[in-house]
Amino acid sequence: MLALLMLGVYAGVRIATRSVHAGNARIERLDQVRAAQQLLRRELAQALSQTIDHDDHGTPLVVDGAPQRLRYVAPLPGYLGQLGPQLQTLRLVDDGTGGLRLELGLALLPPDGNEPQPMGEPQVLVDHVRAGRFSYRGVDVRGRATPWLASWPDGRALPRLVRVELQLDGMVSWPTLEVPLRVEAGDAGPGASTLPIRRMGAQ
In the DSSP assignment, the letter for residue 177 is: E
Residues 6 or more apart whose Cβ sits within 8 Å of residue 116: 52, 87, 107, 108, 109, 110
Return the domain boundaries, the chain.
2-201
Kindly state the average pLDDT of the residues 132-148: 93
Give the global pTM. 0.79
For residues 83 and 108, the answer to whether their CB atoms sit within 8 Å is: yes
Is residue 30 helix, strand or coil? helix
pLDDT at 67: 98
pLDDT at 119: 84
Cα angle value 49/55/60 (rounded, 5°): 30
pLDDT at 200: 35
For residues 46 and 75, the answer to whether their CB atoms sit within 8 Å is: yes
> Does residue 143 surpass a pLDDT of 70?
yes
Give per-residue pLDDT as tens, 167-199. 999 989 999 999 999 866 445 334 445 554 333
Using a pLDDT cut of 70, give the percent of the chain over it: 74
Q: How far apart are CA 106 and CA 74, in angstroms?
A: 10
